[in-house]
Structure 1
């Protein structure tokens, strides 16, 4: 069978529920991993997703901020929520489906100052990555693993609109690029989007609301990722089975993030 997975920071699931349902009808993924749901678990609009054909739902919510959720056409087994976030915020969830572990993340943005001493938010972000990386070093690398979500780092030169200028801005600073590289090595991860669209093609998943025409300015960042360990990378349905749905960013009152999608043979 084929398994299609989408990751999307929706920036409030209740505010953008109509858009999420429209996208599900259009793209028809098997699993949707969403971040920044901005609601408590009991406030999540489960009935709407059930009616849309996604009866299997896992929500890790929090009042007002953060939050991750996962809706699926297929049943899954819930896995332990790992303590990567030292503040205990709703940023992590894990399932197993069709023999694949799938982790959905909303990693902290890190604030504005790229200094671990002066900015606790930045330290929190890097510590989250460090905890995740250390866990991956101990994990059985032969077991299929997919990590997806808003990871809040644009790791490559062509994942930002200006590599030189963004090196001074949180999301693309040297410390973050090094941290992301350590994660990739620890998990033996592959990036299906860069496999499909190699450098120097620019890839973005996020555009600021500050620009009236995001296409014209195109000052984007690739903050959203789906990472596959070796066993899963070999299961991509084709070399270009990785898509950024950037047209969704054109919809009225959109999230500032676009959905991203991969399709696997399982």
Structure 2
């Protein structure tokens, strides 16, 4: 079984339902994982996605913020979610394909502006969330699993436009990179995107603040596709659909793709 997968922080699934439909029709991944849906599940425009061939959905939602969803052309089983840091936030959901592969879809907290948990509660929340991810996967080491989502950290020096200038900027600070590495090590997760594209600058997010985001190209790779070691070698064809950042009224994130032959 071969299937393609994409992950995309959509920044409001209702506001950008037409962009989701555009992606589904033009790129046709078998599975699309969305983050920051900003919608209760019953308000997600599932009929539009079903008309595009995506009749299966597993989602968790909230009004106005957070929210994760897995849209699929393939049959999927809802296998639950975890309420990380016991906040009641819709930041994780999992689904299982018929071939036994489990897909974890995450929206890790952004962490606010100051990389200091003593003065910025949001940053502490982010670090605690990552620590719980690490402990959970270490305690229940997964097999045949894929982890995707907006992890809100650009770990490598070439995952940001300027390593030196962003060392003290939330999303690329050493403490965040270390916490993410511990999550990755907890189950031996393989960064599929960098397995396929091992060298060079690579981004999936560009700020709305840039007057011309494309020309400035001050991006960060915040969106990730990981796989457990038992299936990582089956992954290929990773790419970032940069053009989506330039669509009309876009998300500030671009979709990240991978294909798995299992």
After TM superposition, the score normalised by the length of structure 2 is 0.97
Aligned residues of 1:44 and 1:59 also touching (Cα < 8 A) = no
Q: Displacement, 1:198?
A: 1.7
Per the alignment, residue 210 of structure 1 pairs with 209
Indicate the SS of the match to 1:198: coil
Per the alignment, residue 126 of structure 2 pairs with 125
Per the alignment, residue 18 of structure 1 pairs with 18
| Alpha-carbon RMSD | 1.1
Indicate the SS of the match to 1:108: coil
Q: Deviations over 1:121-160 (max 9, x none)?
A: 111111111001011112235x111110000000010001
Aligned residues of 1:86 and 1:124 also touching (Cα < 8 A) = no
Aligned residues of 2:151 and 2:222 also touching (Cα < 8 A) = yes
User: Which contiguous aligned blocks of 4+ residues in structure 1 show a shift greater than 3 angstroms?
Assistant: none
Per the alignment, residue 69 of structure 1 pairs with 69
Indicate the SS of the match to 2:86: coil
Aligned residues of 1:154 and 1:223 also touching (Cα < 8 A) = yes
Per the alignment, residue 7 of structure 1 pairs with 7
CA distance in 1, matches of 2:63, 2:253: 21
The question of 1:250 aligning with 2:246 is answered yes
CA distance in 2, matches of 1:234, 1:194: 12
Matches within 5 A, 1:12-51: 12-51=12-51
Matches within 5 A, 1:1-266: 1-97=1-97, 98-141=99-142, 143-199=143-199, 201-236=200-235, 238=236, 241-266=237-262
Q: Displacement, 1:70?
A: 1.1
CA distance in 2, matches of 1:165, 1:187: 31
After TM superposition, the score normalised by the length of structure 1 is 0.95
Indicate the SS of the match to 1:194: helix
Indicate the SS of the match to 1:176: helix
Q: Displacement, 1:3?
A: 1.0
Aligned residues of 1:67 and 1:91 also touching (Cα < 8 A) = yes
Q: Displacement, 1:106?
A: 0.7
- How many residues align? The count is 261
CA distance in 1, matches of 2:195, 2:42: 39
Aligned residues of 1:56 and 1:72 also touching (Cα < 8 A) = yes
- Structure 2 stretches lacking a partner, 5+ long: none
Q: Displacement, 1:80?
A: 2.5
Indicate the SS of the match to 1:110: coil
CA distance in 2, matches of 1:246, 1:194: 16
Q: Deviations over 1:157-192 (max 9, x none)?
A: 000111011111000111101101111111201112
